[in-house]
Chains A and B, each alone.
Chain A
Amino acid sequence: EAQVTQNPRYLITVTGKKLTVTCSQNMNHEYMSWYRQDPGLGLRQIYYSMNVEVTDKGDVPEGYKVSRKEKRNFPLILESPSPNQTSLYFCASHRSGGVNTEAFFGQGTRLTVV
């Protein structure tokens, strides 16, 4: 089954404690992205990757890091989480080229930073 898998689904952490949210896709997609969803703002892109070892900032990259060492994996790292990073996070993947391919999303990770 084609899917994007994120872990964990729920996470409560304290300010400053480093955390990693994992993301893996089994569709051999070149493009992967991280989004955060906040009420009234929709989804905003944090970082994206066009292929292995190729990553770039999205609209709201501050406080986040990513890496793409393998095509299937794209972890999101919060080195020193702060309460304003409390949000619902989505990993997404899609094929390259053209505008007609939809994004496949993970189940979401609900992060609370206290």
Chain B
Amino acid sequence: AQKITQTQPGMFVQEKEAVTLDCTYDTSDQSYGLFWYKQPSSGEMIFLIYQGSYDEQNATEGRYSLNFQKARKSANLVISASQLGDSAMYFCAMRGSYNFNKFYFGSGTKLNVKP
């Protein structure tokens, strides 16, 4: 069974500091992809970053990086130099090779950036 777990329902971070959002996953697929999406208060889902299960390097996209620890089945999102506009809900998601049609989502983490 595929499962994504995000254990932090809400987090606070001071503006300009770095923050790590946790994500662990469970899958029996050998090949899979891990994704992070941002959902601002306006509601849309914004793709942030992708990590493949066979990628040896951690993915980075601007201020976003993914701390991928395959043996621990974790794919934490690191946001550096937080900005007020980073306040949003963040979802970790996975797509496996056995079932291409589906993305499995965690329950999300609500991040609040304090000025």
Q: Which residues of A contact B (CB under 8 A)?
A: 31, 33, 35, 40-45, 48, 50, 56, 58, 88, 90, 92, 96-100, 102-105, 107-108, 110
Contact = CB atoms under 8 A, between A and B. Distances in A.
Nearest to B92: A42
Given A42-B107, A99-B95, A90 B100 contact: no
A48 B44 contact: no
Contacts of B102: 33, 45, 48, 58
Contact of A97 (B35, B50, B53, B100): B100
27 contacts: A31-B100, A40-B9, A42-B4, A42-B91, A42-B105, A42-B107, A43-B91, A43-B93, A43-B103, A43-B105, A45-B103, A48-B101, A90-B45, A92-B103, A98-B33, A98-B100, A99-B32, A99-B33, A99-B53, A99-B95, A99-B96, A100-B52, A103-B93, A104-B47, A105-B44, A105-B45, A108-B44
B32 A110 contact: no
Contacts, number: 66
Interface in B1-18: 4, 6, 9
A104 B50 CA distance: 13
Given A99-B52, A99-B95, A107 B108 contact: no
Interface of B: 4, 6, 9, 31-33, 35, 37, 43-45, 47, 50, 52-53, 91, 93, 95-97, 100-103, 105-108
- The prevalent SS among residues of A at the interface is strand
Given A31-B100, A96-B100, A103-B95, 8 more contacts: A33-B101, A43-B93, A44-B105, A45-B102, A102-B47, A102-B50, A103-B35, A105-B44
